[in-house]
Amino acid sequence: MKKVIWITGASSGIGKALALKFADNGWQVAISARRENLLNEISESNENIKSFPLDVTDKVKCKEVFDQIKNHYGDIDICFFSTGTWNPKTEKDIDLEQIENVFKVNFFGTVNSIKAVEQHFKNKMDGIITIVSSIAGYRGLPNSTGYGPSKSALNNLAESLYFDFGRYNVRVCLVSPGFIKTPMTDKNDFKMPFLKTPEFAADEIYKGLINKKIFEIHFPKELTLTLKLFSFFPSKLYFYLVKKLTKFQKR
């Protein structure tokens, strides 16, 4: 019996690349996102991929779609929750509506998805739940009033769920990508160090999920290991270095 993975945020970027990666390796892949036309294009290109449109901010729909996937395949081995939104133009000021929307999609959309599969995995006592965060969640960064805090919340959530699901032999993984060329990062108006392709990200994630037993899958290492080192710095030194690296200026 072929193994099954459910991927949200799969209409483009990392989610799409990962869907194709798993499908090419013989997995059955259920893909979800709001843009049904893009999902259909992907599913029509590969016989191992099937489309299940979903807006993860609708918690009732999350459960309905999960039940559809489970009924279709009979079982699910891995869930990969990667829905996210980012608008740099509205991150430079405290835009309450934008911040609420970012948390609604990035954080609560992920929580809705996890809640939908919770009982299935606890009853099964096996499988992997994957939460996609970002290097922006490590520490505070300039011009990140919504996105960074939402990813930081996901980091904390993943660590909490690691213990909670671990009691049921369910593995929780955190994915922290650096800069990956996607429609979302195309909005950035600054030079992105160590920019990688979605296919690079998919390869790293696949290896981390299938071949390793690690909690956090982070890449590219040239960037993520540097930022992890920064997380140990005292605030004064951290603020100084970030200002220098980002050419931070007072308004």
By percentage, how much of the chain surpasses pLDDT 90?
78
Find the range with the poorest average confidence among 96-105, 107-116, 187-196: 187-196
Say what the pLDDT of residue 151 is.
97
**Confidence check: pLDDT of 249 > 70:** no
Which carries the bigger pLDDT value, residue 202 or residue 243?
A: 202
For the stretch 107-136, pLDDT in tens is 999 999 999 999 999 999 999 999 999 999
**Confidence check: pLDDT of 225 > 80:** yes
* Section 97-109 average pLDDT: 95
Which carries the bigger pLDDT value, residue 185 or residue 12?
A: 12
Q: Measure Cα distances from 215 to 155, 161, 170, 229, 242 in Å.
A: 11, 11, 12, 18, 27
Closest of 127, 1, 153, 134 to residue 66, by C-alpha: 127
Backbone phi and psi for residue 81, each to the nearest 5 degrees, phi listed first: -100, 105
Q: Measure Cα distances from 211 to 117, 208, 214, 217 in Å.
A: 23, 6, 9, 12
Mean pLDDT of the chain, nearest integer: 92
- Quickly state the pLDDT bin for 192 (edges 50, 70, 90): confident
- Quickly state the pLDDT bin for 189 (edges 50, 70, 90): low
Say what the pLDDT of residue 251 is.
43
Say what the pLDDT of residue 186 is.
64
Q: Measure Cα distances from 63 to 147, 172, 188, 201 in Å.
A: 25, 19, 34, 28
Find the range with the poorest average confidence among 62-66, 89-93, 156-160, 218-222: 89-93
For the stretch 150-183, pLDDT in tens is 999 999 999 999 999 999 999 999 999 998 887 7
Q: Which CATH architecture has domain 4-246?
A: 3-Layer(aba) Sandwich (3.40)
Say what the pLDDT of residue 247 is.
67
**Confidence check: pLDDT of 248 > 60:** no
**Confidence check: pLDDT of 50 > 80:** yes
**Confidence check: pLDDT of 194 > 50:** yes
Find the range with the poorest average confidence among 86-90, 100-104, 155-159: 86-90
The residue extents of the domains of the chain are 4-246
Say what the pLDDT of residue 190 is.
66
Say what the pLDDT of residue 87 is.
76
| Residue pair 23/51 in contact by the 8 Å Cβ criterion | no
Q: Strand 4-8's sheet: what is its strand order?
A: 49-51, 28-32, 4-8, 78-81, 128-132, 171-177, 216-219
